[in-house]
Chains A and B, each alone.
Chain A
Amino acid sequence: MTVTPELLAAYADGQLEGADKARIEAAIAADPALASQVARHQRLRKALAAHYAPVAEEPVPDRLAALLKPSGGAESNAEVISFAGARAKRGLLPAIRRWAPVAGPALAASLVLAIWQPWQGGLPEGYADPDLAGVLDTRLAATQAADADLRILLSFQRQGGDLCRAWRGAEAGGIACRDGAGWRIERQFALEGATGGDYRQAGSEADIMAAAQDMAVSGALDAEGEERAKAKGWQN
Chain B
Amino acid sequence: MAKAFEQAVLDLLPRLRRFACGLAGSAADGDDLCQMTIERALVRRDQWQPGTRLDSWMYRIMRNIFIDEMRAARRRSETFVDEEAGLGVGSVGGQEARVELALVDRAMRQLPTDQREAVLLVMVEGYSYKEAAEIIGCPVGTLNSRLVRGRDALLGLLEDAS
Distance to closest chain A CB from B26 (angstroms) = 7
Question: Do A93 and B129 touch (CB < 8 A)?
Answer: no
Contact A63 B35 (CB under 8 A): yes
Question: In the complex, what residues of A have CB within 8 A of residue B147's CB?
Answer: 9, 13
Please determine whether B94 and A142 come into contact, CB atoms closer than 8 angstroms.
Answer: yes
B49 at the interface (CB under 8 A from A): no
Given the contacts A95-B70, A199-B36, A47 and B13 also touching, CB distance less than 8 Å: no
Q: Is A104 close to B, CB under 8 A? A: yes
Known contacts A5-B152, A48-B124, A105-B92; decide if A93 and B10 are in contact (CB<8 Å).
Answer: no
Does A97 lie within 8 Å of B91, measured CB to CB?
A: yes
B-side interface size class: 35 or more
Verify B85–A55 contact, CB threshold 8 A: no
Give the residue name and chain of the A residue nearest to B25 (CB).
Answer: A94
Assembly CA distance A25 to B67 (angstroms): 37
In the complex, which residues of chain A have a beta carbon less than 8 angstroms from the beta carbon of B124? 48-49, 52
**Min CB distance, B35 to chain A, in Å?**
5
Is B86 an interface residue, CB under 8 A from the partner? yes
Within 8 A of B (CB), among A157-202: 198-199
Nearest chain B CB to A150's CB is how many angstroms away?
Answer: 14
- In whole angstroms, how far apart are the Cα atoms of A49 and B121 in the complex? 11
| Nearest Cβ on chain A to B62's Cβ, whole angstroms | 13
The interface residues of chain A lying within 8 Å CB-to-CB of B120 are: 48, 52
Contact between chains at A52 and B18 (CB < 8 Å): yes
Closest to A83 in B: B35
Query: Which residues of B have CB within 8 Å of A209?
Result: 76
A142 to B89, CA, bound (A): 11
Q: Is A100 interfacial (CB-CB < 8 Å)?
A: yes
* Interface residue? B34 (CB, 8 A): yes
Contact B29 A76 (CB under 8 A): no
* Chain B interfacial positions (CB closer than 8 Å to A): 3, 6-7, 9-10, 13-15, 17-18, 21-22, 24-36, 38-39, 42, 66, 69-70, 72-74, 76-77, 79-81, 85-86, 89-94, 102, 104, 109, 119-120, 122-124, 128-129, 141, 144-145, 147-148, 151-152, 154-155, 158
What are 9 A-B contacts with C-beta separation under 8 Å? A6-B144, A44-B151, A51-B104, A55-B27, A90-B28, A93-B32, A96-B73, A103-B91, A219-B81
